[in-house]
Amino acid sequence: MLTLRVFLLCLTFNWCHGADLSNKFFPKNFQFGLSTSAYQIEGGWNEGGKGESMWDRYFHENTSRSLDGYNGDVTCDSYHRWEEDVQILKDIGVDVYRFSIAWTRILPDGTTKHINQEGVNYYLNLIKALRDNNIEPLPTLYHWDLPQHLSELGGWLNPQIATYFGDYARICYQMFGEHVKRWLTINEPKSTCLIGYGSINNAPGLELIGDGIYQCAYVQLLAHAKAYRIYDEEFRNSQGGVVSIALDHPWSEPYSDSPLDVEAANIENQFGLGWYAHPIYHGNWPQPMIERIGNRSLLEGYTFSRLPVLSNEDVEYIKGTHDYFAINIYTGYYTQHIDDYGVGEPSYWLDKGNNVFSDPSWPKSSSDWLTSYPEAMRKLLNWIKVEYNPAEVMVTENGWPDSTGTLEDQERITYMQGYLSNLLDAIDDGVNVIGYLHWSLLDVLEWNAGHTQRLGLVHVDFESANLTRTWKNSAYWYQNLLTTRCLVDNCQ
């Protein structure tokens, strides 16, 4: 049945051709998968002994923060329906499932004074079911849902949170590490800091765009490094896994060949990805950030830089805390130099300067920030190789939002084809890309956009009592790709 359906869809939508797609096979050990996160998929926000997270508080204290009124209280209800989800993952045929552990299910107030066994059991059951179905579990320890109690201690502005995070990570390694070989510490730390601590649009909704965001990045790097080092020192020998951090960045390309635009694009890539990757791979903030933020801070009347100075001890502690490079890649932008704009209110956006925009010809998704520029995949992967030369790279997210959740999601398939073809080209270029995890399995809660942005391969009917899951065409397409491991009719 499925094969016939794939064949018919193939004819209808011309999937099987695609003249300009790579005709290489994906490498034998290449891992395909799907990604989700706890707050976006689980629901059960106060069940099974779970504590309150800063996202629970953020939506509950002001319902207008969600565009359509939906929040994470129920969402896809995977807290109760996880077995159905594992069955879907198995039927699609993925090698890897990336999900996140809700800190507040394991440690309700974020501290080790109480370990919630019911929460531990939830993830143990999920992880074992994945293993039983030959799906590798890839847990992210932190995907934005800080325990509310720790948020009240200052959240990611307080360096002590790194110690709490280390303690939480240790418990996860103890509880789940026997079954887990690949970990991620923090998902998209830049998004948390820029949007959560730099705008009202994400929890905790602070607007500290000139200074808090840099302190937040510093504390998240310390927390990541602590979780990495705890694994390295206490667990690696017995568990033999690998640990990294999932960074995100839209590839930034010079608008013209002029040296000013070339430098502008470099500044954009350094502020966007180097902000985190440079300390982890090279041991300090990228030089353009040190200089630009330092100079602007003095002009603004500060006696010191708004970018925290990393001590030698910090540099040594953070440097080298990576076993593989995990990157979320969705889109790209052109970058154009703009002349000095003078002193203004302290701000990340003024610190980096630059005019950043999409090409009008790139297909637009339902989200303002996301146009389809498939070459971004190849170009960013190559830039990562040049800048950091990681042994292995895994694409931990890539996805396409629409506002309807349509089952006839040809746009999503075209997007995936283009990006995956460019991923194969990057492998040809010599980048050791070992996996691709699509975002997302289901139409999960898209943070403050609620369900107005749908990114799942599988549709969820949020009006139905059973939160009915229905495969979109892209799910059938992905299922077929995972069998053929080839984007065209005949691969070499």
Cβ at position 336, least distance to ligand NAG in Å: 17
Cβ at position 211, least distance to ligand NAG in Å: 19
Cβ at position 69, least distance to ligand NAG in Å: 12
Distance (Å, whole) CA 142 – CA 165: 9
Cβ at position 65, least distance to ligand NAG in Å: 5
* Among 335, 322, 248, 255, CA closest to 288: 335
Which residue, 33 or 288, has its beta carbon nearer to ligand NAG? 288
Q: Which residues of 475-484 are buried (b: 16+ CB within 10 A; e: fewer)?
A: bbbbbbbeee
Cα atoms found within 13 Å of the Cα of residue 96, Cβ hemisphere only: 28
For the record, the structure tokens of 171 come out as: 């418990």
Q: Are 186 and 246 in contact (CB under 8 A)?
A: yes
Backbone angles phi, psi at 349, to 5 degrees: -65, -40
The residue from 188, 253, 268, 411 that is catalytic is 188
Q: Are 330 and 250 in contact (CB under 8 A)?
A: yes
Which residue, 106 or 289, has its beta carbon nearer to ligand NAG? 289
What SS3 state is found at 34? strand
- Confirm whether 291 is a catalytic residue: no
Cβ at position 197, least distance to ligand NAG in Å: 15
* Among 255, 251, 273, CA closest to 264: 255
Q: Are 175 and 111 in contact (CB under 8 A)?
A: no
Contacts of 166 (CB under 8 A, 6+ apart): 223, 226, 227, 230
How many other C-beta atoms are found inside a 10 Å radius of the C-beta of residue 364?
12
Which residue, 267 or 356, has its beta carbon nearer to ligand NAG? 267
Distance (Å, whole) CA 239 – CA 244: 15
Q: Which residues here bind ligand NAG, judged by CB under 6 A? A: 62, 64-65, 200, 291-292, 295, 465-466
Cβ at position 464, least distance to ligand NAG in Å: 6
Q: Are 245 and 189 in contact (CB under 8 A)?
A: yes
Q: Where are the alpha helices (DSSP H) in 192-286?
A: 212-230, 236-239, 259-269, 275-282
- Confirm whether 397 is a catalytic residue: yes
Place of tokens 């599988």: 458
Cα atoms found within 13 Å of the Cα of residue 279, Cβ hemisphere only: 30
Which residue, 84 or 167, has its beta carbon nearer to ligand NAG? 84
Cβ at position 291, least distance to ligand NAG in Å: 4
Distance (Å, whole) CA 32 – CA 136: 10
Which residue, 361 or 466, has its beta carbon nearer to ligand NAG? 466
Q: End-to-end alpha-carbon separation of the chain, Å? A: 28
Which residue, 65 or 98, has its beta carbon nearer to ligand NAG? 65
Which residue, 335 or 398, has its beta carbon nearer to ligand NAG? 335
The residue from 42, 136, 387, 397 that is catalytic is 397
Catalytic residue positions, numbered: 188, 397
